């Protein structure tokens, strides 16, 4: 097995290792020797590194990384690559070699992006531990809806309100918008995606049986769709908001198991801060109980950065969502935006989404939130989706967000 590291990713790892080596009490050489010693490598492999170290931590870190990349799979434990084995002590803290939470997430992103663990189970565990969202799947692969909650159907099922498609209708024209997704091998891109995943929650509304997705945009404010909380049979949105449950960090593994998320209720006195009905901007701004602030200190839950910039046709659009109420999934599209209707506050796209994804945040390539996903329709020529531009919503909620951040 061989791999080719992007120069910026190699530099990031070399800088991390050299920084740790320079600060090590026994000196740079001792640090790297300890790192290799703590790895699940054979004595023969370890001995092949004897005598190669110098007093320069940066040069040593580069030598170690290049050597490990060239070696490929670890013959002592084929579940790992050699580099995966060497990086593992940074995550486990073996022999006191652990790094901080931020550095762990970076290492986790590198291992995930380059598949430095050859075992799918290990990669799944890593994804759950560090919040790496998994790619969106077909609805047939999703679990059944929880008892008492609506089954949101498949990719070809309609979800959200009706909308008029402004983009191309011919299959060949639409096909041009289904370009290859951005590569997960771009570690920086994946790391930003992991950070944004920490802002996304699954919403369940017991009074209506509805479920959807929401995103934290201020310390105690979550944005979702109006229609997630209000239905034709139960239109009392403020009443429905009482008892709603938000769950952050629901990441799935390849074997179908799901990480236990952080669960919160809404503020008891005024859970609904602002809203706009379905036929207008279709949003609900909810206030979460104050306990959520305690989970933002160490980054377990984060606030999504917003932008009021208006995207353009052909730009990338990426959605973090809970389709069908399942664990979080990520849908990537390098040029998924088909049309922008600024005067109506709308953006339309072909990036994958499904029922239960209503209220999901839509991000640009810089992982800034640009829209709120709210509807999908299927036709003979393919599925089409629509979101509400954040610049339109921001005009109404800006003051509330500013006050909450104060």
pLDDT in tens, 221-240: 999 999 999 988 889 999 99
* Integer Cα distance of 79 and 81 in angstroms: 7
pLDDT at 143: 44
Burial class, 61, CB count within 10 angstroms (exposed 0-12 / middle 13-18 / buried 19+): buried
* Integer Cα distance of 78 and 298 in angstroms: 34
pLDDT at 85: 94
Q: Between helices 57-71 and 82-92, what is the axis angle to 10°?
A: 130
Q: What is the DSSP letter of 258?
A: B
pLDDT-derived band at 314 (thresholds 50, 70, 90) equals: confident
What is the β-pairing status of strands 329-331 and 283-287?
unpaired
Residue whose structure tokens are 């005598």: 51
Spell out a b/e string for 314-353, using b for 16 or more CB atoms within 10 Å of the CB, else e: ebbbbbbbbbbbbbbbbbbbbbbbbbbeeeebbbbbbbbb
**What is the tens place of the pLDDT at every residue in 42-72?**
888 888 777 677 778 899 899 899 989 988 8
State the chain's mean pLDDT as an integer. 83
Angle at 171 between CA 168 and CA 175, to 5 degrees: 85
* Integer Cα distance of 84 and 107 in angstroms: 10
Average pLDDT over residues 137-157: 44
pLDDT-derived band at 366 (thresholds 50, 70, 90) equals: very high
Cα distances from 395 to residues 330, 345, 389, in angstroms, run 28, 11, 11
Identify the weakest region by mean pLDDT among 289-303, 307-321, 344-358: 344-358
184: three-class secondary structure by DSSP: coil
pLDDT at 231: 86
**What is the tens place of the pLDDT at every residue in 97-146?**
888 878 888 898 899 888 899 988 888 788 777 777 766 644 434 444 45
* Integer Cα distance of 406 and 401 in angstroms: 9
Q: Is a pLDDT exceeding 80 seen at residue 170?
A: no
pTM of the prediction? 0.77
Q: Which of 80-89, 95-104, 313-322, 378-387 has the highest mean pLDDT?
A: 80-89
Burial class, 246, CB count within 10 angstroms (exposed 0-12 / middle 13-18 / buried 19+): buried
- Comparing 214 with 100, which gets the higher pLDDT? 214
**What is the tens place of the pLDDT at every residue in 336-365?**
788 899 999 999 987 666 666 889 999 998
Element counts in the chain: helices (H) and strands (E):
12, 15
| 281 closest CA partner among 326, 330, 327, 223 | 223
* Integer Cα distance of 347 and 336 in angstroms: 10
Alpha helices in 230-296 (DSSP H): 237-241
């Amino acid at each position: 097995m061989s791999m080719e590291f992007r120069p910026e990713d190699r530099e990031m790892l070399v800088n991390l290792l050299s920084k740790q080596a320079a600060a090590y009490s026994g000196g740079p050489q001792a640090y790297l020797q300890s790192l290799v010693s703590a790895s699940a490598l054979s004595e023969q492999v370890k001995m092949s590194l004897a005598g190669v170290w110098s007093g320069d931590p940066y040069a040593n870190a580069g030598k170690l990384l290049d050597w490990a990349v060239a070696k490929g799979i670890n013959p002592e434990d084929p579940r790992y690559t050699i580099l995966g084995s060497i990086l593992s002590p940074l995550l486990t803290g073996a022999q006191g070699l652990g790094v901080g939470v931020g550095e762990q997430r970076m290492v986790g992103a590198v291992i995930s992006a380059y598949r430095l663990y050859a075992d799918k189970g290990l990669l799944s565990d890593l994804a759950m531990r560090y919040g790496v969202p998994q790619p969106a799947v077909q609805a047939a692969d999703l679990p059944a809806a929880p008892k008492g909650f609506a089954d949101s159907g498949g990719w070809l099922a309609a979800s959200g309100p009706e909308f008029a498609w402004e983009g191309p209708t011919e299959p060949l024209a639409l096909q041009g918008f289904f370009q290859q997704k951005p590569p997960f091998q771009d570690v920086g891109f994946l790391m930003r995606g992991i950070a944004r995943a920490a802002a996304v929650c699954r919403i369940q509304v017991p009074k209506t049986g509805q479920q959807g997705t929401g995103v934290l945009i201020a310390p105690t404010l979550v944005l979702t769709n109006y229609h997630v909380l209000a239905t034709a049979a139960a239109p009392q949105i403020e009443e429905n908001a009482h008892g709603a449950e938000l769950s952050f960090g629901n990441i799935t593994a390849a074997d179908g198991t799901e990480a236990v998320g952080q669960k919160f209720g809404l503020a008891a006195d005024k859970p609904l801060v602002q809203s706009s009905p379905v036929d207008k901007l279709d949003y609900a701004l909810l206030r979460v109980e104050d306990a959520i602030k305690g989970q933002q200190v160490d980054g377990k839950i984060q606030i999504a950065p917003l932008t009021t910039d208006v995207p353009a046709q052909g730009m990338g659009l990426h959605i973090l969502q809970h389709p069908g109420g399942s664990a979080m999934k990520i849908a990537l599209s390098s040029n998924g935006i088909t049309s922008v209707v600024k005067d109506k506050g709308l953006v339309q796209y072909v990036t994958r989404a499904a029922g239960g994804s209503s209220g999901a945040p839509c991000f640009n390539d810089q992982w800034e939130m640009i829209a709120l996903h709210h509807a999908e329709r299927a036709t003979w020529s393919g599925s089409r989706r629509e979101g509400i531009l954040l610049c339109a919503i921001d005009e109404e909620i800006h003051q509330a967000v500013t006050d909450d951040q104060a």
